[in-house]
Structure 1
Amino acid sequence: KNQNILLLSYSTYNQFWKEANSTINDLLVQEIPAEPLKPEKDRLTVFQKLATLYIKYVQIFRKLESSYDQVVHPQKRRILRQVLDGTMGRLLEVKDEMVNLEFSEFHYFDDILSDLKLTPNDIEIPIPKYFLHERKKVLQEREQVLGKILAKMGPTVKDSDREAKKMSLEEAIRLVQIHERARQGRLRAKFMREIRLEEEREKLAAQRGAPTLDPDVAATRIQKIWKGFIQRKVTRREREEEMVFIGMGNFQYFFTYVGRGVQGQPQVDRRITQEENEVEYQQALVTIKEKIRQVEGPDIKETMQDQIRQWFIECRDATGKFPDYPDEEDGGSSLLFKEKTPEEATELKEKEEEKGKKKGKKGKKSGKKSGKKKKGKNSKLISSPSQEEEPGWKMQESKFLPAVSEAHNNYESVWRNRDEAANFQQKHDGVLIKEDKRVEVESEIRIQVDELMREELNNLKMALDRDKGKKGKKGKKSGKKKGKKSGKKGKKGKKDKDLTADRTIESLYEEMVQQGVLVKCPQVSKYAPPTHARAHRHTQTDTD
């Protein structure tokens, strides 16, 4: 039964998250339009718009806060925290807009609540529970430090200066008498009320006469009615539990009646499970990253080196020289294989076009340039009226909507349609950890590869310069030889050092035999046929 309760709670809070994201999707379409909106001039319309946004963000906040408090999946909690913080920030921004518009911190949403069929309790903003639960240790440490400081300081001056209010003996006796008389009066009133009720009961009994019903029969009737009531209640509860178990019942009934006996305990158990899952998640981050580095690291390193070497060759074939390696501050080799966004591509095209225009303008006369400048000024003057902003109200740019949009997109791409039927305990997802840690390992390996490839590129450049220098010297020498009728031969290059100068041929030969380089071959007659041919010949003569 406890497992069923946990399963239902997980699905319930996941449903809250899903509903909140669907509402966020509608609000993002409204708040981030494709085209900029025109300024609004009607103040009442602006307030209605802001109030509607405020109420919807409050509803989103309430659902996300309850989901974040009870969801135990560590990776889901991170996305929930991001969207929850963004929603709280956006809620404060909308509230600030309303205050600036109405010049008041108190607003009335009666008409909007009636249109949305909500009550004032639905827009109450609860204090997020993680403010206390996630900062419990910090708050306890603060209290301990404060207690130590107060203990060292001792009683303050104000406390020592306080004196008890002095009272005379007569005033004290009078105060005690007042309270004692009041106590006796209450007891007397209670006693008189009991006497009066007893007299009324006696009068009613005298009017009715002696009871005619047997006490055993009366007790049996009472037991019958009570047992029937209890059994119907138990049967109704069991029926609801069965319907909920097969997915056809009302979850709200289940939590209000079945979970009433353990109210508050499932929430505490889930918070304990959150801590356990978080510890396992942190351990998995380390182990999975180390495993990726050991298993996939060498292949990643080799692939990067091959790609960079290919880039060296392509640049040398295109320009005739090796390129300059990007600096580590600029990103190193990651800039070479980074996919450019459409905006970056358009910027590059514009820069190239500007360079071409500048080259074309250099050959023109100064008179034409001045004429163009005048035309440019006139065009600016003509276009200035259209650029003036229209009067009215505009929503200020939000600092929290990008975070909300990012978390929403993450939910839509990863968690919305993810199958978690096998993850009953809501542990971490190893596949997602691998995807994230693979990127980290690649960035770490790329730094090492960049250092190696910089050295390799420097060696290639030095070798290329050396080859060019040798070719230049040979060309000069050949020209001098052709001009002279009788020229001396140029100096020969230095010979490599002989490593076997102090060794005899016999010792070298002996060493090669010992190492198995030289092997004695079997002696075979020059004209002797193969063994299988001779065997065939002998068998043929025997048959003849």
Structure 2
Amino acid sequence: MAGCSHSRLSDRVNKFVKLAYNELWADVQLELSRLLAEELPAEPLHPEKDRVVFFQRVALFYVRYLQIFRKLEEIYDQVVHPQKRRLIRTILDGVIGRLLELKNEMVEKEYSEYHYMDDILQDLNLIPADLEIPIPRYFITECSKDFQERKTMVTDILKMVEVTESLEPLIVKDMSPEKAIKIIQVAERARQGRLRAKLNEESRNMNRMYKTKEPGAADIELAAVCIQKVWRGYVQRKRTKIDREEEMIFLGMAMDPKYKVPSSAEIGARATEVFNCNRQREHEEDYQKAIVAITKQLLDVEGHDMSNTLKDQIRQWFIECRDATGSFPDYPDEEEGGSALIFAEKNPQQLKEEIAALEEDDSKNKPKKKEEKKKNGKDKGKNNTEEEEEGLKMLPSAFLSDLQVGNKTFEDFWKKRNESKNFVQRHDPELIKEEMRKVVEAEIRPQVDVQMREELAEWKLAVDKDKGGKAKGKAKKKGAKGGKKKKEKDLTPDRTLESLCQELVEQGLLKKPNNVALQDYIGDYSYVGSELRKLGIEPTPSLSDVRQVLTLYGILPLGSQVVHEKAPLIKAILLTGPTGVGKKMLVHAICQETGANLFDLSPLNTAGKYPGKSGLAMMLHMVFKVARLLPPSVIWIGDAEKMFYKKIPKQDKELEPKRLKKDLPKSLKLIKAEDRVLLVGTTQDPLSADIKSLCKMYSKILLIPKPDYGSRCILWKQLITKQGGEVTKALDLSSLSKISDGYTPGHMVRVVQSVVTKRRVLQQAMRPLTASEFVPPLAKINPVLKGEEEALKNWYTKTPLGKKKIKAAAGKEEEAADKKKDAKKKGKK
């Protein structure tokens, strides 16, 4: 009976969860349909002349799409129905892509990688946490079998190399006699010191024993009073502390301890999430089996009828073309789509004209094309200037059409669908049949095309003997041959992927990324960024802004193949900033969040490996080949400035830091939209590099600042807690954050590790941590000076985006001056 009641309860919970997520999906689709109606109105919007107003419109779209993205990601993670999940995934990829397009639009219009939307948050009644970009969980959980096999292969190779390295015998280095004597002396002095301390303690104890006398009555009474005072003070302080904590909880300024422990509802919700994930896998396996079975059934039952129907349609097209044009048409080639091209909603005359036009295009001369391109380029330039004069418009989108189709599918099919009988949320066989009929037809079509080409040839021989189509076919083939592009030469055609991976691991070029999540890159939100920009002050981005931008540029495109192919392509990102701001950590976080492989092409790591021009070409070829075959992949270049040194320092000449300067940009150009490969460079000294070459290679340059006051407060608390320390009232975090201005997160980690040791953690009960303990280790570290920070900011103004920002600011000042002059003239009149 107990088991039965438990199953009924779980069924009720699952039913409630199903209804909740279906209702949430309906609400999200309603908001998405409203957004699409605003973005694609019946009448086109007039261009906006005011840049600030235009940016506000784009930023509002961005925030609204972000809220849809957050909800859709949660829905997709918990919905169990396999066919619903496919539609939600399509819409989710479209929303991510549109989000990236709007981000690109904001960068183009505001000339900055960082944007501040605190005013929009106020208008929409949102909190800063709502601007946090979630990382979809399906990036890692939903991988194809091939991808998982390749990943396991790479991890096995990495483990095997680690084991062989650890099994190597330890080589005993030769030690000089002076060094050995010094070590022995240190050990002996420590031993003598411990013995001396022990003897001193024993002598003190003996002296105490001789000094003790028999206490009198007065002494006993005084001792009792003293003990009473101490005890009463202790009890009163404890009561006062309890009263203060209760008052803070009552005022809502502190959390009740009982809520800090996970409640039964939270534990149940987590159990339901795990249960839903397991059910998703089961339903997906059943769905895949049903697809195979239904496809086979359709081929056996309806395959013959489909073939006859296609043949009858094609024969009818032959006759219609003969009646309309006086001759039989040429059958479309397989490359053009075969008979599928015939039924593209065109009449025979239109199709005949289209085929003739394609033949004429092949015979056109190349010089004419060049002249047309030049003319078109001039005309386009004129049109662009006219549009700029008229006002600002939204750039064309590659995702809005997909979102419209997905929204229409939901409206037509899933919105009003009654699923009361499908309690378990399994697949619908009828839907599979509708989808698979198209697949079966696509499989049958090539066979039908072969038969119908032969039949058409017989018809032509029988009726149109005077007309020969052989010459045309030859001309087409020649044209097709001439249009082929040269493929990249494969330097390793006979080698397997496993052997290439093993060699790269052995050479230290393919590494295992550190287990670091992006959420570990802690930082606070910029609360007054938009207000500062209104006053003409450029705000310093916070670490939270850096985290969000890197999610948009690195993680979201790498995680989804569809998004990477259609979204604005970003091939290379450069992270610049002082030592310790977390540049390397961000590189490892990108790999960890997307499951990407990490290739290290830093000058220090490649020094002495694959010497000569042929060796360098082989190294780059292997790295980029494996990176393409094992997507997603991140190619990291530490100390990126060394590759573009203005003048190579003496200590770096042996490394040959410039050996990749010419060949790496060439390899980077070969990366296409379908290749999920990202190049990430990190540098702390970009001033020593040639800025033109650096900016030419890296399309996105992110300047990472030192943490502000809010970020330092959060960092100190999180780092101390993570190390095992307790943040009490005795620890003045505000003062500690104030005096640590100029220090980076890396500096703070070192200080916390040196102060919060295992011994100090055990002493916390009697002696809580204080801010003064962290000051001496901080004083030993050199902070980031203002001069260094200003030098990086001045360098950033020389980058392409920095130059655009300066020009835009100069243009605004001129406009403001002209307005003042016009106002003065009007006043005089």
Please indicate the TM-score interval, normalised by the length of the shorter structure: 0.5 to 0.7
8 Å Cα contact 1:39-1:390 kept in structure 2: no
Farther off after superposition, 132-141 or 292-301 = 132-141
SS in 2 for 1:388: helix
Distance, in Å, in 2 between the alignment partners of 1:125 and 1:25 is 22
Deviation of 1:35 (Å): 4.3
Q: 1:146 aligns with which of 127, 145, 158?
A: 158
Deviation of 1:464 (Å): 4.6
Which residue does the alignment assign to 1:216? none
* Count of paired positions: 370
Q: Relative CO higher for 1 or 2, CA cutoff 8 Å, sep ≥ 6?
A: 1
SS in 2 for 1:262: helix
8 Å Cα contact 2:342-2:351 kept in structure 1: no
Q: Describe how 1:466-485 pairs up with structure 2 within 5 A.
A: none
Which residue does the alignment assign to 2:270? 264
Alignment of 1:274 onto 2:276: no
Q: 1:5 aligns with which of 3, 13, 18?
A: 13
Which residue does the alignment assign to 2:209? none
Deviation of 1:70 (Å): 0.9
Alignment of 1:30 onto 2:30: no
Distance, in Å, in 2 between the alignment partners of 1:339 and 1:175 is 99
Deviation of 1:14 (Å): 2.0
Deviation of 1:175 (Å): 13
Deviation of 1:322 (Å): 4.9
8 Å Cα contact 1:69-1:129 kept in structure 2: yes
Instruction: Note the alpha carbon deviations across 1:379-406, whole angstroms, 9 max, x for none.
Output: xx9xx89992243433322333333333
SS in 1 for 2:268: coil
Deviation of 1:56 (Å): 0.9
Distance, in Å, in 2 between the alignment partners of 1:202 and 1:329 is 89
TM-aligned CA distance change 1:80 to 1:386, over 3 Å: closer
Distance, in Å, in 2 between the alignment partners of 1:416 and 1:198 is 72
TM-aligned CA distance change 1:106 to 1:347, over 3 Å: farther
8 Å Cα contact 2:310-2:448 kept in structure 1: yes
TM-aligned CA distance change 1:399 to 1:455, over 3 Å: closer
Distance, in Å, in 2 between the alignment partners of 1:111 and 1:81 is 32
Which residue does the alignment assign to 1:541? none
TM-aligned CA distance change 1:304 to 1:51, over 3 Å: closer
Which residue does the alignment assign to 1:295? 301
8 Å Cα contact 2:98-2:399 kept in structure 1: yes
Q: CA RMSD in A?
A: 4.5
Q: Describe how 1:184-199 pairs up with structure 2 within 5 A.
A: none
Which residue does the alignment assign to 2:121? 113
- TM-score normalised by length of structure 1: 0.57
TM-aligned CA distance change 1:196 to 1:139, over 3 Å: farther
8 Å Cα contact 1:64-1:80 kept in structure 2: yes
Deviation of 1:288 (Å): 0.7
Distance, in Å, in 2 between the alignment partners of 1:145 and 1:176 is 54
Which residue does the alignment assign to 2:445? 446
Deviation of 1:445 (Å): 2.4
Q: Describe how 1:149-168 pairs up with structure 2 within 5 A.
A: 149-154=161-166, 168=187
Alignment of 1:125 onto 2:137: no
8 Å Cα contact 2:327-2:464 kept in structure 1: no
SS in 1 for 2:387: coil
Distance, in Å, in 1 between the alignment partners of 2:119 and 2:336 is 56
Distance, in Å, in 1 between the alignment partners of 2:36 and 2:170 is 56
Q: Describe how 1:344-383 pairs up with structure 2 within 5 A.
A: none
Distance, in Å, in 2 between the alignment partners of 1:44 and 1:272 is 49
8 Å Cα contact 2:329-2:352 kept in structure 1: no
| Paired amino acid for 2:55 | F
TM-aligned CA distance change 1:289 to 1:49, over 3 Å: same
TM-aligned CA distance change 1:2 to 1:308, over 3 Å: same
Q: Describe how 1:493-532 pairs up with structure 2 within 5 A.
A: none
8 Å Cα contact 2:47-2:393 kept in structure 1: yes
| Paired amino acid for 2:77 | D
Distance, in Å, in 2 between the alignment partners of 1:386 and 1:90 is 23
Q: Which has the higher helix share?
A: 1
Instruction: Note the alpha carbon deviations across 1:276-303, whole angstroms, 9 max, x for none.
Output: 1111111111111111111112222222
Distance, in Å, in 2 between the alignment partners of 1:67 and 1:16 is 8
Which residue does the alignment assign to 2:399? 400
TM-aligned CA distance change 1:323 to 1:32, over 3 Å: closer
Which residue does the alignment assign to 1:516? none
Deviation of 1:66 (Å): 0.4
TM-aligned CA distance change 1:309 to 1:45, over 3 Å: closer
SS in 1 for 2:139: helix
Distance, in Å, in 2 between the alignment partners of 1:89 and 1:102 is 20
Which residue does the alignment assign to 1:420? 419
Bigger Cα Rg: 1
SS in 2 for 1:396: coil
Instruction: Note the alpha carbon deviations across 1:102-137, whole angstroms, 9 max, x for none.
Output: 444443322222221111222222222122322594
Q: 2:77 aligns with which of 64, 69, 74?
A: 69
8 Å Cα contact 2:331-2:338 kept in structure 1: yes
Deviation of 1:2 (Å): 0.6
Which residue does the alignment assign to 2:25? 17
- TM-score normalised by length of structure 2: 0.39
Distance, in Å, in 1 between the alignment partners of 2:384 and 2:66 is 39
TM-aligned CA distance change 1:8 to 1:145, over 3 Å: farther
Distance, in Å, in 2 between the alignment partners of 1:285 and 1:126 is 32
Distance, in Å, in 2 between the alignment partners of 1:306 and 1:433 is 26
Deviation of 1:61 (Å): 0.9
Alignment of 1:53 onto 2:52: no
Distance, in Å, in 1 between the alignment partners of 2:234 and 2:93 is 70
Residue ranges of structure 1 left out of the alignment (5+ in a row) = 182-191, 205-255, 353-380, 467-544
TM-aligned CA distance change 1:330 to 1:199, over 3 Å: closer
Deviation of 1:69 (Å): 0.8
TM-aligned CA distance change 1:456 to 1:279, over 3 Å: same
| Paired amino acid for 2:337 | G
TM-aligned CA distance change 1:101 to 1:424, over 3 Å: same
SS in 1 for 2:419: coil
Alignment of 1:83 onto 2:91: yes
TM-aligned CA distance change 1:312 to 1:175, over 3 Å: farther
Instruction: Note the alpha carbon deviations across 1:51-109, whole angstroms, 9 max, x for none.
Output: 21221121111101101111111122122222212222222232333344444444332
8 Å Cα contact 2:318-2:328 kept in structure 1: yes
Distance, in Å, in 1 between the alignment partners of 2:420 and 2:101 is 39
Distance, in Å, in 1 between the alignment partners of 2:327 and 2:353 is 24
TM-aligned CA distance change 1:321 to 1:4, over 3 Å: same
Alignment of 1:43 onto 2:51: yes
TM-aligned CA distance change 1:431 to 1:319, over 3 Å: same
| Paired amino acid for 1:14 | N
| Paired amino acid for 2:59 | A
